[in-house]
A and B are shown apart, each in its own frame.
Chain A
Amino acid sequence: MPKELLKGNNAIAEAAIRAGLEAYFGYPITPQTELLEHMAARMPELGRAFVQAESEVAAINMVYGAACTGKRVMTTSSSPGVSLMMEGLSYIAGTEIPMVLVDVMRGGPGLGNIAPSQGDYTQMVHGGGHGDYHPIVLAPASVQEAIDLTVLAFDLAEKYRTIAVVLADGSIGQMMEPAELPPMAPLRKTLPPWAVTGEPGRPRRLLTSIYLNPDDEEITNIRLLERWMSICSQEVRFKEYYLDDAELVVVGFGTAGRVALSAVRAARAAGIKAGLFRPISLSPFPEQEIKELAANTEAILVVEMNAGQMFDDVKLAVEGLAPVEFYGRLGGVVPFPDEILAEIRRVAAGPIPGQNGHARQRWLERLSLLREGN
Chain B
Amino acid sequence: MLNVLPTTSAQVVYQRPKSLTETVTHYCPGCTHGVSQRLVAEVLDEMGLREKTIGVASVGCSVFAYNYFDVDFVEAAHGRAPAMATGIKRVFPDRIVFTYQGDGDLASIGMAEVMHAAARGENITIVFINNAIYGMTGGQMAPTTLPGMRTTSSPLGRDIEMTGMPIRMAEILAKLDASSFVVRRSLHDATNIRKAKKAIRTAFEVQRQGLGFSLVELLSTCPTNWGMTPNEALSFVEGQMLPYFPLGDYKVADAVKALKI
Which positions 55-104 of chain B face chain A at CB distance < 8 Å? 56-57, 63, 66, 70-77, 80, 83-88, 90-92, 95-96
Chain A 49-65, CB-CB to B under 8 Å as 1, else 0, gives 10101110111011111
* B66 contact from A55, A200, A208, Cβ within 8 A: A208
Residues from chain B with Cβ under 8 Å of A95 in the complex: 74-75
CB distance from A132 to the nearest CB of B (A): 18
Select from chain B the residue with minimum beta-carbon distance to A91: B77
Q: Are B75 and A210 in touch, CB under 8 angstroms? A: yes
Indicate if B54 sits at the interface (CB-CB under 8 A).
Answer: yes
Q: Are A23 and B112 in touch, CB under 8 angstroms? A: no
Which positions 198-213 of chain A face chain B at CB distance < 8 Å? 198-201, 204-210
Measured CA separation A61–B66 after assembly (Å): 18
* A62 contact from B52, B70, B90, Cβ within 8 A: B90
Indicate if A106 sits at the interface (CB-CB under 8 A).
Answer: no
Residues from chain B with Cβ under 8 Å of A197 in the complex: 54, 72, 92, 95
CB distance from B37 to the nearest CB of A (A): 15
B-side interface residues, number (CB < 8 Å): 33
Indicate if A147 sits at the interface (CB-CB under 8 A).
Answer: no
Q: Are B90 and A57 in touch, CB under 8 angstroms? A: no
Q: Are B83 and A65 in touch, CB under 8 angstroms? A: yes
Indicate if A71 sits at the interface (CB-CB under 8 A).
Answer: yes
Chain A 128-161, CB-CB to B under 8 Å as 1, else 0, gives 0000000000000000000000000000000000
Select from chain B the residue with minimum beta-carbon distance to A68: B74
Indicate if A169 sits at the interface (CB-CB under 8 A).
Answer: no
Knowing A88-B77, A198-B54, A208-B66 are in contact, say whether A58-B95 is a contact too (CB < 8 A). no
Residues from chain A with Cβ under 8 Å of B52 in the complex: 198-200
Indicate if A73 sits at the interface (CB-CB under 8 A).
Answer: yes
Select from chain B the residue with minimum beta-carbon distance to A209: B75
Measured CA separation A57–B77 after assembly (Å): 10
Select from chain B the residue with minimum beta-carbon distance to A207: B74
Residue among A22, A88, A199, A206 with the most chain B CB within 10 A?
A206
Q: Are A207 and B84 in touch, CB under 8 angstroms? A: no
Indicate if A66 sits at the interface (CB-CB under 8 A).
Answer: yes
Select from chain B the residue with minimum beta-carbon distance to A49: B90
Measured CA separation A67–B91 after assembly (Å): 10
Residues from chain A with Cβ under 8 Å of B87 in the complex: 23, 25, 51, 61-68, 73
* Main secondary structure on A side of the interface with B: mixed
Knowing A63-B87, A66-B90, A73-B87 are in contact, say whether A196-B73 is a contact too (CB < 8 A). yes
Measured CA separation A201–B50 after assembly (Å): 11
Measured CA separation A299–B54 after assembly (Å): 57
Q: Are B83 and A199 in touch, CB under 8 angstroms? A: no
Indicate if B116 sits at the interface (CB-CB under 8 A).
Answer: yes
* B56 contact from A57, A65, A71, Cβ within 8 A: A65
Measured CA separation A69–B66 after assembly (Å): 16
Select from chain A the residue with minimum beta-carbon distance to B96: A198
Measured CA separation A344–B82 after assembly (Å): 54
List residues of chain A with CB under 8 Å of any chain B CB: 22-23, 25, 49, 51, 53-55, 57-59, 61-69, 71, 73, 87-88, 91, 95, 196-201, 204-210
**16 residue pairs A–B, Cβ–Cβ below 8 Å:** A23-B91, A54-B113, A57-B80, A58-B80, A58-B113, A61-B77, A61-B84, A64-B77, A64-B87, A68-B74, A88-B77, A91-B77, A197-B54, A204-B70, A204-B72, A207-B73
